[in-house]
Amino acid sequence: MTIATHEFDYVLEAFREGTRFVVTSHVSPDGDAIGSVLGIAHLLRGMGKRDVTCVLEDPVPRVYTWLDGADAIVTPDRAGGPFDTAVLIDAHAGDRSGRSAAVLNGADTFVVIDHHLVERADGHVKWVDPTYAAAGEMVYDLFMRGGVPLTKAAAECIYTAQTTDTGSFRYSNTTARSHRIASVLMDAGIDIRAITERVIDTMSRGKYGLLQRVLGRIQFGAGGTVAHAAIYANDLAETGALPEDTDGLINYLRNIEGVRVAMIFREAKDGKTKVSFRTQADLNAADICRAFGGGGHAVAAGATLEGTIAEARGKVLAHLRAHAGLDV
Ligand code: AMP
Ligand code: MN
Ligand code: MN
C-alpha cells in the first residue's frame, strides 16, 4: 500500500536532511508561537538533531517561561549561526519575525509552517493549512507522521499552543481533531489543570489594572455592533502591566451582547499603532487587516499602522464605513 505524499512530508524531509537548525515565530509571541517553536525543537531533538537554536525577537511572556526549553530561547542578535535549515512557525512572512528575518534568509533551506489565512507564503518548503486551530497541532502531526516519540514536555508545549489559540477549546476554530489531539496529549501525561492555571487562569496585577482601564473606556458605534478601546503606552507604565498583558483583553469587548466587531488600538514602538480585531463570521477580519498590511484568521486578526492611535483609528473606522457598510 502506498500513502500519498503530503505537504508535511516535505517538511519532515527537510528536517531529516538538516543539521544546524534555527526555529522562530512572530513578534509579540503568544502561546501558540512559543508552544510551536519549542514543540519543533523537541521534535528535532527527537529526530536526533542536536544543533537547534530557538530565536524570538520579543521576550517569552511570563506565563510560558515554565515550558521546557523556554529558558534557552535567544534574541536574534545572539542567534549565532550559520544555519542550514531555518523554520518559521505560526507566521508565513519572514518579516513577521522582526530581526529574526535576517537569520531565516541566511539559511540554505527556509521552512514555513502556518495556519493563518495566507495569500502567499515565504520559504522554500511551505506547509500552510488554515484548518488547523493552532500551529501546535501541525507540530503534533509532524510527531505522528515522523514516528517521533511524543514526550510529556513536547505534549505540554503543544497543549499550551492549542489552549491559547482556541480560547480553551471554545472558539470557532476548535475542531474534533483539536480534541482528539488533546486526548493523546493527556495520555502522554500532561496535567491540563496545572497548565490551565499557569497559562489561562492567572492574571497579573498589572493586567488587572489594564483591564480596569480598558473596560472603562470602551466606545460603541454602529448601533452597538462595533466596540473599540485604546491602550496607551502610559497605561502600561502606570499599571505596571507588560506588553503581553494586553493579550486577551479584546475578548471582553467581543463578548458584549450585540458586538460584531471588536477592536483594540494599542500604542506601539516608533510612533506606530497596533490594532487587534475580532469579528463575527460574516465579516472577515483577516481581509480587513490585510488592507493595512496585517493579516490573521477570519475572526481574529491584527495589523500595525503608522501613526498615533487617533490616526490609526480614523483610518480603520473609515475603512469599516466604506467596505463593511458600518455606521461608525
Ligand atoms: P492579535 O490581535 O495580536 O491577538 O492577533 C490575532 C491574530 O492575527 C493572530 O493569529 C496573529 O498572529 C494575527 N496577526 C496579528 N497581527 C498581525 C500582523 N501584523 N500580520 C499578520 N497577522 C497578524
Ligand atoms: Mn500566534
Ligand atoms: Mn497560531
- Mean pLDDT for the stretch of residues 74-98: 97
Helix (H, G, I), strand (E, B) or coil at 228: strand
The Cα–Cα gap between 64 and 56 comes to 13
| Whether the predicted pLDDT of 3 surpasses 80 | no
Give the separation between CA 264 and CA 99, rounded to whole angstroms. Answer: 25
Q: What integer pLDDT is reported at residue 159 of this predicted model?
A: 99
Q: Is 303 in the pocket of ligand 1 (CB under 6 A)?
A: yes
Atom 2 of ligand 1, nearest CA residue: 276
Coil, helix or strand for 300?
Answer: strand
Report whether pLDDT(281) > 90.
Answer: no
Q: How far apart are CA 39 and CA 54, in angstroms?
A: 11
DSSP letter, residue 191: -
Confidence of residue 2 (pLDDT cuts 50, 70, 90): low
Mean pLDDT computed over 271-283: 94
Banded pLDDT at 4 (limits 50, 70, 90): confident
d(CA 136, CA 159): 7
Burial 119-141 (b: 16+ CB within 10 A, else e): eebbbebbbbbeebbbbbbbbbb
9-13, 147-151, 281-285, 309-313: least confidently modelled range: 281-285
The per-residue pLDDT for range 223-268, each reduced to its tens digit, is: 999 999 999 999 999 999 999 999 999 999 999 999 999 999 999 9
- Extract the C-alpha cell encoding 68: 521546557
Per-residue pLDDT, 75 = 98
Upper half-sphere CA count for residue 112 (Cβ side, 13 Å): 24
pLDDT digits (tens, 9 = 90+) for 89-124: 999 999 999 999 999 999 999 999 999 999 899 999
Residue 192 pLDDT exceeds 80: yes
Q: Please name the residue whose Cα sits nearest to atom 8 of ligand 1.
A: 301
Ligand 1 pocket, residue 296 CB under 6 Å: yes
**pLDDT band (50, 70, 90) for residue 1:** low
74: pLDDT strictly greater than 80: yes
Q: Is residue 13 pLDDT above 90, yes or no? A: yes
Per-residue pLDDT, 127: 97
Of 117, 97, 108, nearest in space to 23 by CA: 97
Mutate to test the pocket of ligand 1, among 56, 96, 305 (most ligand atoms within 8 A of CB): 96
Atom of ligand 1 nearest to the CA of 264: 2
Quick: pLDDT tens for 226-236. 999 999 999 99
The predicted structure's pLDDT at residue 64: 98
DSSP-based three-state secondary structure for 111: strand
What gap in Å lies between CA 60 and CA 71, rounded to an integer? 9
Cα–Cα distances (Å) from 171 to 160, 162, 167, 294, in that order, read 15, 11, 6, 21
Task: Tell me if 36 CB under 6 Å of ligand 1.
Answer: no
Report residue 301's pLDDT band, with 50, 70 and 90 as the boundaries: very high
Q: What per-residue confidence (pLDDT) applies to 5? A: 81
**What integer best gives the mean pLDDT of the chain?**
97
- Protein residue whose Cα sits closest to atom 15 of ligand 1: 302
Element (H, E) at 288: helix 285-290
* pLDDT, position 50: 97
